[in-house]
Amino acid sequence: MNEFLDWLSQPWPWYIAGPMIGLTVPILLIIGNRSFGISSSLRHICAVCVPSKIPFFQYNWKEEAWNLMFVAGVFLGGVIAALFLSNPESIVIAESTQRDLKALGLTNFNNLLPAEIFSWDNVFTLKGLFFFVIGGFMVGFGTRYAGGCTSGHAIMGISNLQWPSVVATMFFMIGGLVMTHLFLPFVMSFIGF
């Protein structure tokens, strides 16, 4: 059993993880004519929890209950992985990336998220305002404006040969590169790194 858990806690090679993610799309389409995407689940949660007359939430959300179960499974899988399958070793990051991050003031590479930014101590600070509030708003607004998130467009939309998903994914990548190389150094210096 320990050998299985050790194997399970290691990063899986692309030739196993990639087909597993890729096969999710046709399985959902073939079995239930469903589309994969995470961001739409927020609308379903709001439709369940917000008893109002807002037209955007006036639909039969029960037909999309499978999506809520899928998101609950993703959350539960993350909890199980974090509690029982986490790898105690530091995340392997290329030396060039470590140099770039150190130049920005980030030195803790033990977690997936930099502790200098993503910690409870920063929630009510200028860092928290930029990264949690403004960043969260931009992600939420962008997801809604683009008609879906990166997983929905890149995995589901492109596999269905939808031109808007190809365009959205290209701009997600361009936006990430522009943010990383042009705006992030400015933001980091502005908030005190």
pLDDT band at 1 (very low <50, low <70, confident <90, very high): low
Q: 69 vs 159, which has greater pLDDT?
A: 69
Residue 106 has pLDDT above 90, yes or no: no
- Boundaries of every domain in the chain: 1-86, 92-193
SS3 sequence, 31-77?
Answer: HHCCCCCCCHHHHHHHHHHCCCCCHHHCCCHHHHHHHHHHHHHHHHH
Query: What pLDDT, on a 0 to 100 scale, did the predictor assign at position 14?
Result: 85
- Helix (H) / strand (E) element for 151: namely helix 150-151
Output the pLDDT for position 159: 79
**Residue bearing the bigger pLDDT, 9 or 170:** 170
Selected residue with higher pLDDT from 79 and 6: 79
Half-sphere exposure of 174 (CA within 13 A, CB side): 6
Rounded mean pLDDT, 106-125: 79
Q: What is the pLDDT of residue 131?
A: 83
